[in-house]
Amino acid sequence: MKRCLALIALILSGFTAFGEEPDLVEGVRRAIAYWHSLFRQCGNNQGRGGPSYAVDPSGSNAGSIQMVPELRIQFKTEEVSQEQRLNGFEFKATTSVEPGPFRWWIAPNKAWRDWQVGEIAPPRILIKKKGVWSDEAAPNRWEGRKPLTTCSEVPSMEDKR
Taking 70 as the threshold, does the pLDDT of residue 4 lie above it? no
In a domain, 86, yes or no: yes
Domain count, the chain: 1
Q: Residue 161 domain-assigned?
A: no
pTM above 0.85, yes or no: no
Q: Is residue 140 part of a domain?
A: yes
Nearest to 23 by CA among 97, 125, 93, 86: 93
- Is position 138 within any domain? yes
Tell me, yes or no, whether 48 lies in a domain.
Answer: yes
- CA 144, CA 121: separation in Å to the nearest integer? 9
10 is in which domain, residue-wise?
2-150
pLDDT tens readout for residues 45-86: 544 568 999 998 887 788 899 999 999 999 999 999 999 999
> pLDDT of 77-130, one tens digit each?
999 999 999 999 999 999 999 999 999 999 999 999 999 999 999 999 999 999
Asked, for residue 107, whether it belongs to a domain, the answer is: yes
